[in-house]
Structure 1
Amino acid sequence: MDGADDERPAPRCAVVVNPVKVADLDGFRRTVNDALAAAGWPEPVWYETTVEDPGLGQTREAVGAGAEIVLACGGDGTVRACVTALAGTDVALAVLPLGTGNLLAANLGLRDDLAAGLEVAVERGTRRLDVGAVGDQCFAVMAGMGFDAQLLDGTSERTKRRLGWPAYLVGAVRHLRDRPMRVSVRIDDRPPLRRRARSVLVANVGRLQGGVRLLADAEPDDGWLDVAVLTPRTLGHWLAMAWALLGRRGRVPRMELFRARRVEIVSDRAQPRELDGDLIEPGRSLTAEIRPGALWLCVPRPERDPDLAVDADAAAERGARLVEEARHE
């Protein structure tokens, strides 16, 4: 799929939206419909998520109805449900970020910019990405067990609404001195590694909330998962890690890196766990495996740059013009 071909007919599309994340759903719907109409697209079919179904069933219904592109509008849970439903299909995913987390949107450089997300969708530049699978659930960015999920669990929705992504720093500070977990990490068929770790991350791409690049070498379509085992024990260790990450230094202290097609993590006690910034049930183990090339994703630029955010700023400018033009039509 290529974003440069303007001769293709406009695609049938659907919007899967979490209504809780939108203050004015009718106004939001008008903005999206008008922008798509200005781009020559037919009116999309809209599906609202529910507490019982955060988007999986709605996305599957949209695919069954013939959608060629699904626009996911919501936080991490909505986007991840759409990823799970679309993995293994030829239907593309576009992200219209809402909420405060939006790990996949952060890796696309979209932040919470609706206009940029709409522009990326209508330009139809797509790449086939790998996804990770944990049981019957998929993730596009990363899975985690331990501290990363702990800070998500410790950050309230109210604080996130007030502060945005820096709210996660508040949650992090509360757990810096918690005791580590004893883990066994099996990389593919190798003998298990045993560590006292604070967190084990399994990533397909490398950005965290706020755009911090945790895994500089992680590529979204190389057929590998990047595994990071974090072993800080003191406040000094945490500060050294943060300094290395923010300064984009090559080596991050107290972090071991591995690559795997399948990774199995087993802890000595139940731990909080997350997929793409969305909490799942706590557990003592987490097993993830790669599904190469399983997802078509709308990206700012379709070339094979390892950074999915390439051209995001320019797409935001074009998107702002698209939305402005739609308002005057």
Structure 2
Amino acid sequence: MGAHSYHVVLNANAGTASIAGVTADQLQAMFEANGMVAQIDADTDQTMADRVARAVAGPADIVVAAGGDGTITALAAALVDSDKSLAILPLGTVNALAKDLKIPLDLATAVASLATSTPQRIDVGEVNGRIFLHKVVVGFIPGLAAGRERIRGNQTTAAKLGLLRYFFRRLARARRIAVAIDADAGAVQAVRVQAIAVASNAYDEGFGQFFSRENLDRGTLTLYVLKHFSFADFVRLTGGMLLGRWRDDHALRVESVKSVTIRSHKTLCKAMFDGEVQTLSTPLVFRIRPLALSILTPVAPASAQGGDLAEAKA
């Protein structure tokens, strides 16, 4: 196979990119230093939709999302079931998928790793025809995400304390929502819940693992139903997540499904869509699209590969 060509979509307004002042010239130099040919798109005068369309239509076989989770999701949606692969340069605040795929968070190291990365096919989720890579959450949590947006770029102690006060005020006033859940071929369940999350694949349990996924190709969605969420629930669940024991918590119901439909008496609902607060129409119709996206992943170090082989032989 010949050398890859790269089309990089730089979102200079993403969290880390904005703080560090990442420029197209810097990225170009990093690619050239590693012997890679790249076209850098940093055209902020164009909409993201136009820039994504240009990247997909271009000749490069690898489209690089240099930005946060929103940029990555937008490009992934356009590349699903195509002959191009997605690559990630994590420049956002959360960088959830990059962490799942063990992509280096340091920009220079991430660029260098592209030269030896290999394509891997992963599942994606879909809700009402829209692609998501992590999870979609409705209920109490999107309101908290809106509060988080208020302090984006402001990491002072006062701002963080303000967000904490906002969180507990919302928690004290939070009301449960009435929904009907229709999962696969099961009976429809009418329930009142604090929040519902639908994730592509499943979040792992384990000490210190906080919303991380080891496997992205199991071909399932995971339904997380938060039945109630008092201050005591918050403390217990947070501690359980840090200790790696949370799936059996009595406030939470976890179910693996291929598809699920969530109905509400409201025609529109606020949702946290891969970390961004958006408005979706109901009902919310979810399905998993197995192995629909090709994405570059770093090659594991030789020592790690050797460990895996030793385990396999044991």
Within 5 Å, give how 1:270-285 maps onto structure 2: 270-285=268-283
Aligned pair partner of 2:224 in 225, 228, 232: 228
Does residue 173 (structure 1) correspond to residue 168 (structure 2)? The answer is yes
Q: Kindly state the Cα deviation for residue 169 of structure 1 after the two structures are TM-superposed.
A: 6.6
Moved more, 229-238 or 82-91: 229-238
CA distance in 1, matches of 2:194, 2:264: 11
Which position in structure 2 is the counterpart of 1:141? 134
Find the aligned partners of 1:116 and 1:108 in 2 and give their Cα distance.
14
**Alpha-carbon deviation of 1:23?**
4.1
Q: Which structure has the greater CA radius of gyration? A: 2
Q: Would the alpha carbon gap of residues 47 and 292 (structure 1) be closer, same or farther in structure 2, given more than 3 Å must change?
A: farther
Asked whether the 8 Å contact 2:27–2:40 carries over to 1, the reply is no
Cα pair distance change 1:27/1:228, threshold 3 Å: closer
Q: CA deviation at 1:206?
A: 4.7
Report the more deviating stretch, 22-31 or 142-151.
Answer: 22-31
State how 1:22-37 maps to structure 2 within 5 Å.
22-23=17-18, 28-37=23-32
Equivalent of residue 262 in structure 2, options 258, 261, 265: 265
Among the aligned pairs, what percent are the same residue?
A: 26
Cα distance change on mapping 1:169 and 1:88 into 2, 3 Å: farther
SS at match of 2:82: coil
C-alpha distance in structure 1 between counterparts of 2:19 and 2:255, whole Å: 45
Compute the displacement of 1:246 (Å).
Answer: 1.1
Contact 1:145 1:286 in 2 (8 A): no
> Contact (CA 8 Å) 1:241, 1:252: kept in 2 or not?
no
- Secondary structure (helix, strand or coil) at the match of 1:228 reads strand
CA 173–298 in structure 1, closer or farther in 2 if over 3 Å, else same = farther
1:63 equivalent in alignment to 2:56: yes
**Which residue, 145, 154, 161 being the options, matches 1:162?**
154
Tell me the amino acid that sits aligned with residue 61 of structure 1: R
Per-residue deviation, 1:174: 3.9
Consecutive unaligned residues of structure 1, counting only runs of 5 or more, are 1-7, 304-309, 312-329
TM-score, normalising length from structure 1?
A: 0.77
**Is structure 2 residue 252 aligned with structure 1 residue 255?**
yes
Structure 2 residue aligned with 1:3: none
CA–CA distance in structure 1, aligned partners of residues 247 and 235 of structure 2: 14
Q: Normalising by structure 2, what TM-score?
A: 0.81
Check the 8 A contact 1:15/1:73 in 2, yes or no.
yes
Q: Which has the higher contact order (CA 8 A, sep 6+)?
A: 1
Which range moves more in the overlay, 258-267 or 248-257? 248-257
Is residue 122 of structure 2 the alignment partner of residue 129 of structure 1? yes
Gaps spanning 5+ residues in structure 2: where? 306-314
The question of whether the paired residues in 2 share the 8 Å contact of 1:204 and 1:219 is answered with no
User: When the two structures are aligned, how many residues end up with a matched partner?
Assistant: 291
Of residues 191, 195, 199, the one that matches 1:195 is 191
Render the CA deviation track for 1:9-44: whole Å, top value 9, x for unaligned.
221111112232344998532332122212221132
| Cα shift at 1:263 | 1.0
In the other structure, the counterpart of 1:39 is 34
Q: 2:171 is matched by which residue type in structure 1?
A: L
What SS does the corresponding residue of 2:63 show, helix, strand or coil? strand
> Structure 1 residue 292: deviation in Å?
1.0
Of 47, 54, 63, the match for 1:53: 47
CA distance in 2, matches of 1:258, 1:24: 39
Partner in structure 2 of residue 315 of structure 1: none
